[in-house]
Structure 1
Amino acid sequence: MRRLAWPLILLLPLLAGIHFFAHEQAWEQRREYRRTLDAGYVLPSRFIRVFALEHKGVMANYLLLKTMNFYGDRVMHQEQLSEEDWHYIVSSLDAVTDLDPRFLDPYIFGVTLLTWEAGMIEEANRLLEKGMEHRSHDWQMPFFLGFNHFYFLQDFATGAEYLMQASRLPESPNFLPNLAARLSYYGQRTGSAIVFLQTLLLQTADEGLRASLERRLLALQRADLIEQAVARFKDEQGRLPEKAQELLEGGYLEEMPEDPYGGQWVLLPGGRVFSTSRFVVEPEPDLPQDLE
């Protein structure tokens, strides 16, 4: 038995190497396949209703889970979503909310994904407007519509109107009336965006989306920290700093906080802070085959 054991022990590293090589080759083939794979077609909801019969809620849950898995798979493997992918997600969420228009999860998933990740503000607003129609008791629908108008569209007056509408609905947070007044007076402020993201995080159960929102929240909190230092500098010096280094030299910041997206902070006119990363995760570049 001992004579047989030694050859097996020597053979194990070779078998492990073959397994690792085969695994890498299979993974590369899968990546190439996913790059060329279309997102798929979503049947119009009027046909899905016929197939679902009396199980429309079950079908809505299934379609939403399928959509979330589609997005999660792309993110997990660091694959950028194409324009067709995003339109598939929009169509799928539209079908889900047609089947069950009172279903909260697709509205939260949609407003998170379509605004922050895809920049599809109009599509997100259309989804939220449907939510307002069918969830008229829910303060979250006008709340997120207000934020989208305020932050992304820079339509402060409309944003404030939506927030005031949300503040009049049952169980809405007490801070909404003051926030609406603040937004209509001050306009676009990083600190207010932090409030919105914190509220959105409370409603988000998907771990992948939570991780994305938490990173963006951290980036905004650090930008807000720098903006507060800029405001103190202006109050004391009577001018805005020209470079971020002046904040360190003057003791307004102990250290420059890192951008969690890896960018560099830039001071803009008016005291705003900008990051060269634009708060976007850059995908890892594909390595040449001889280096993989």
Structure 2
Amino acid sequence: MGARPAPGSADGPPPRPLLSRLAGARDALVTVALSAAAAVAIGIVRAPAAALEKRVAETSDVYVLPPPDEVVTLSLGYRSALADLLWSHVLVSQGLHTMERRRFENLTLLLDAINALDPTFRDPYLFADALITFQTSTTPHDEVVKAREIMERGVQNRPLDGEIWLALGQFVAFIAPASYLTDPAEKAQWRLDGARMLARAAELGGNDANISWQALGGAGILGRAGEREAQIRFLQRTLAVTDDEGLKQQIRAQLDKLLGEQAAEAYRRRIDGFSEIWRRDLPFVSKTAILVLGPPRDPAYCAGGAHADEPRCATTWSAWAERVAGER
């Protein structure tokens, strides 16, 4: 066995040389000095940069997309996806532009691209007037016309959407003439056009009384414009499709004033007769369904032609209405 090492003489790490310790301290000092210099430099540059940023503001937008037809090609078949992406960009950018108090100059171009990508996407049509006119500066006349153009594109691509017809009619009949148009003749024409659009909205809003109630103001515009026959047709068509009892009473009261007592009574007879046939024959179907199916007809009673001119032998509702009117 070897001799034990004397106490205190065990092997251990060799002591660090003096030059190594000095090099480590120097590196630490350099790091601290560089950090301090960087902090000072940032402090010196930051204030002028902030002041410059306040003075220099973005004042215009750059539209980088090609024309709408080319955007469709650019989508590589993902038309709805790209339309959703652009619509999200429109909503976010509208908020940013409003916060920065500057006009969203590319809005109508983006809406054109979205419409080309997905013609039946309804949200851009419903919100086009609000987005285009809700700006921090005065809306120019050409953009007001453009808003109408986009919404008319909506009713062309979604002709049975009563809500889009309602939004279009309200903008053309009320909002634009009252807030953005200045020429009296143009105002009058827009109001008249808008009233006809509201009439179509009322026809399509049979199951949604809210649409019909809101569209009813168009009848008054037609009346003030001297379009009495158009006003009567507006009210009659709305009455024919609505199931809202309060609205029915309102329309009947207006028709009584417009048609006179005798004509109003004849019209009420036709409406009440139709409702009675509907309840008696097919009460479980909708009004639209019974209008499509036509009036009930008894083949045995109507055979031979002896009763061909009676209402109960009519094959269409229009023929039935004519025969009911002829019975007076």
Q: Please give the TM-score of this superposition, normalised by the length of structure 2.
A: 0.44
Q: Which has the higher contact order (CA 8 A, sep 6+)?
A: 1
Question: Looking at CA atoms only, which structure, 1 or 2, has the larger radius of gyration?
Answer: 2
Q: Please give the TM-score of this superposition, normalised by the length of structure 1.
A: 0.49
